[in-house]
A and B are shown apart, each in its own frame.
Chain A
Amino acid sequence: MAGYILRRIGLAGLMLFGLVCLTFVIANVAPSDPAALAAGPDAGRSQIEQARREYGLDKPLPEQFLRYVTDLAQGNFGRSIATGRSVGTDLARYFPATLELVILAMLLGVLLGVPLGVVSALRKDGPVDHVTRIFAVSGIALPPFWFGLLLQLAFATWLGLLPTSGRISVFTEPPDPITGLLLLDNTLRGQWPLFREALSYIILPAIVLSLPCLASILRVNRSEMVEALRMDYVVAARAHGVTPWRIVMVHALKNAMLPTLAIIGLRWGWMMSSTVLVETVFDWPGIGLYAVSSAIAGDFKPVMGVTLIVGLNFMVANLIVDLLYGVLDPRLRRA
Chain B
Amino acid sequence: MSAIAEETVAAPPRRRLRLALWLLTRSFSSMLGLFLVTAIVALALLGPWIVPYPDDVQGGINLANKLQPPSFAHWLGTDEVGNDILTRVIIGARISLLVGIGITVAAAIIGVPLGILAGLAGGRLREVIMRFTDLFLSVPGLVLAIALVAALGPGIVNAMIALILVWWPGYVRLAEAKALSIRDEAYIEAARVAGASRARILRRHVLPNSISPLIVKMSMDIGQAILAVASLGFIGLGAKPPTPEWGAMISIARGYMPDWWWYAVAPGVFIYLAVLGFNLLGDGLRDILDPRSNRG
A residues bordering B, Cβ < 8 Å? 15, 18-19, 21-23, 26-27, 29-32, 124-125, 130, 133-134, 137-138, 140-147, 149-150, 152-153, 157-158, 216, 219-220, 222-224, 226, 259, 263, 266, 269-270, 272-274, 276-277, 280-281, 291-292, 294-296, 298-300, 303-304, 306-307, 310-311, 314-315
> Which single member of A29, A223, A277 contacts B235 (CB below 8 Å)?
A277
Q: Which B residues are CB-close (under 8 A) to A298?
A: 150, 153
Is residue B234 contacting chain A, with contact meaning CB distance below 8 A?
yes
Residues 89-146 of B contacting A (Cβ, < 8 Å):
131, 134-136, 138-144, 146
A143 touches B271 (CB 8 A): yes
A280 touches B235 (CB 8 A): yes
Instruction: Give A23 to B143 CA distance when docked, in angstroms.
Output: 11
B234 touches A277 (CB 8 A): yes
Is residue B77 contacting chain A, with contact meaning CB distance below 8 A?
no
Chain A nearest Cβ from B287, distance in angstroms:
10
Q: Which B residues are CB-close (under 8 A) to A294?
A: 150
A223 touches B227 (CB 8 A): no
Q: A152-B257, A220-B295, A276-B143 are in contact. Are A137 and B235 (CB under 8 A)?
A: no
Residue of B nearest to A147 (CB): B268
> Which single member of B28, B151, B237, B271 contacts A26 (CB below 8 Å)?
B151
> Which single member of A31, A133, A219, A304 contacts B152 (CB below 8 Å)?
A31
Residue of B nearest to A296 (CB): B236
B138 touches A141 (CB 8 A): no
Q: A26-B147, A295-B149 are in contact. Are A145 and B250 (CB under 8 A)?
A: yes
Q: Which B residues are CB-close (under 8 A) to A222?
A: 295
For chain B, the bracket of interface size reads 35 or more
A149 touches B153 (CB 8 A): no
Q: A137-B279, A137-B283, A296-B236 are in contact. Are A153 and B261 (CB under 8 A)?
A: yes
B268 touches A276 (CB 8 A): no
Is residue B1 contacting chain A, with contact meaning CB distance below 8 A?
yes
Q: Which A residues are CB-close (under 8 A) to B227?
A: 141, 143
Q: Which A residues are CB-close (under 8 A) to B271?
A: 143, 146
Is residue B231 contacting chain A, with contact meaning CB distance below 8 A?
yes
Interface centre among B28, B227, B275, B280 (most CB of A within 10 A): B227
Is residue B208 contacting chain A, with contact meaning CB distance below 8 A?
no
| Cβ-Cβ contact count across A and B, 8 Å cutoff | 177
Interface string of B252-296 (1 = CB under 8 A from A): 001001100100110110011001100110010000000000111
Q: Which B residues are CB-close (under 8 A) to A146?
A: 234, 250, 264, 267-268, 271-272
Instruction: Give A158 to B236 CA distance when docked, in angstroms.
Output: 27
Q: A26-B148, A149-B264, A226-B2 are in contact. Are A310 and B296 (CB under 8 A)?
A: no
Q: Which B residues are CB-close (under 8 A) to A125?
A: 1
Instruction: Give A280 to B146 CA distance when docked, in angstroms.
Output: 13
Q: Which B residues are CB-close (under 8 A) to A31?
A: 152-153
> Which single member of A18, A124, A141 contacts B135 (CB below 8 Å)?
A18
Q: Which A residues are CB-close (under 8 A) to B135?
A: 15, 18-19, 21-22
Is residue B244 contacting chain A, with contact meaning CB distance below 8 A?
no
Is residue B223 contacting chain A, with contact meaning CB distance below 8 A?
yes
Q: Which B residues are CB-close (under 8 A) to A311?
A: 138-140, 143
Q: A31-B153, A152-B257, A157-B258 are in contact. Are A292 and B236 (CB under 8 A)?
A: yes
Q: Which B residues are CB-close (under 8 A) to A216?
A: 295-296
Instruction: Give A153 to B253 CA distance when docked, in angstroms.
Output: 13
A143 touches B147 (CB 8 A): no
B residues bordering A, Cβ < 8 Å? 1-2, 28-29, 131, 134-136, 138-144, 146-154, 223, 227, 230-231, 234-237, 247, 250, 254, 257-258, 261, 264-265, 267-268, 271-272, 275-276, 279-280, 283, 294-296
Instruction: Give A133 to B139 CA distance when docked, in angstroms.
Output: 28
Chain A nearest Cβ from B243, distance in angstroms:
17
Q: Which A residues are CB-close (under 8 A) to B142?
A: 270, 273-274, 276-277
Instruction: Give A315 to B137 CA distance when docked, in angstroms.
Output: 10
B258 touches A153 (CB 8 A): yes
B143 touches A306 (CB 8 A): yes
Chain B nearest Cβ from A300, distance in angstroms:
6
Instruction: Give A30 to B134 CA distance when docked, in angstroms.
Output: 23
Q: Which A residues are CB-close (under 8 A) to B279?
A: 137, 140-141
Instruction: Give A134 to B283 CA distance when docked, in angstroms.
Output: 11
Residue of B nearest to A217 (CB): B296
A141 touches B236 (CB 8 A): no
A-B contact sample (18 more), CB < 8 A, given A29-B152, A274-B142: A15-B135, A22-B136, A26-B151, A30-B151, A134-B29, A137-B29, A141-B279, A152-B258, A226-B2, A269-B139, A272-B143, A277-B231, A280-B235, A281-B254, A292-B236, A292-B237, A298-B150, A310-B143
